[in-house]
Amino acid sequence: MEIERKFLVENPPENFTSFPCRHIEQGYLNTEPVIRIRKDDSRYELTYKSKGLMSREEVNLPLTEDAYLHLLTKIDGRLIKKRRYLLPLENGLTIELDIFDEELAPLILAEVEFPDEENANSFIPPEWFGKDVTFSGEYHNSRLSKI
């Protein structure tokens, strides 16, 4: 189960580039249900996600680079490219700060994953987080792949 909240960010903290960064590209083979392929640095995976906004089922399966490259020719919509910075929070949680590249620039989103819905609902975001878009499907990456 994936439980996450998502926020628009206009002004990330000045030091965000000092945190670990992963380079991600992902494409969608299907958006209902969501079937995604992803390259995360040198790791490849196929992901299924059920319907939902804050909480939804997620299953990740490893792919080889060859399988990823083969499936890449079959994506529907744009290939999303982003840099993901991992910023720690005091409570053991992590902010995933996504800086989108190419056609989706200058979009910046912050996501935080939670162990349960109670923690997600009681989360107080840092001041630099912008609008909470958790319950707007407009900012799901599967939707962004279609714009």
CATH number of the domain within which 136 lies: 2.40.320.10
Q: For the chain, what is the mean pLDDT?
A: 96
pLDDT in tens, 5-64: 999 999 999 999 999 999 999 999 999 899 999 999 999 999 999 999 899 999 999 999
> What is the pLDDT, as a whole number, of residue 90?
84
| Whole-angstrom distance, CA of residue 77 vs CA of residue 82 | 16
Active site residue 28: yes
Whether residue 88 has pLDDT greater than 80 = yes
> What is the pLDDT, as a whole number, of residue 139?
94
Query: Which DSSP letter does residue 104 get?
Result: G
> What is the pLDDT, as a whole number, of residue 127?
95
pLDDT in tens, 90-122: 889 999 999 999 999 999 999 999 999 999 999
What token pair was written down for 71? 């499936």
Q: In 121-138, which positions are buried (b, 16+ CB within 10 angstroms) versus exposed (e)?
A: eebeeeebbeeebbeeee
Question: Of 28, 44, 68, 85, which residue is the catalytic one?
Answer: 28
Which is nearest to 95 in space by CA: 114, 115, 109, 110?
110
Number of domains in the chain: 1
Q: How many CA atoms lie within 13 A of 106 on its CB side?
A: 4
Tokens 């190419």 found at: 102
* Structural contact between residues 100 and 147, judged by C-beta atoms closer than 8 angstroms: no
What range does the domain containing 20 cover? 2-144
> What is the pLDDT, as a whole number, of residue 96?
98
Above pLDDT 90, what percent of the chain? 95
State the pLDDT confidence band at 137, using cuts at 50, 70 and 90.
Answer: confident
Planar angle of CA 48, 51, 56, nearest 5 degrees? 75
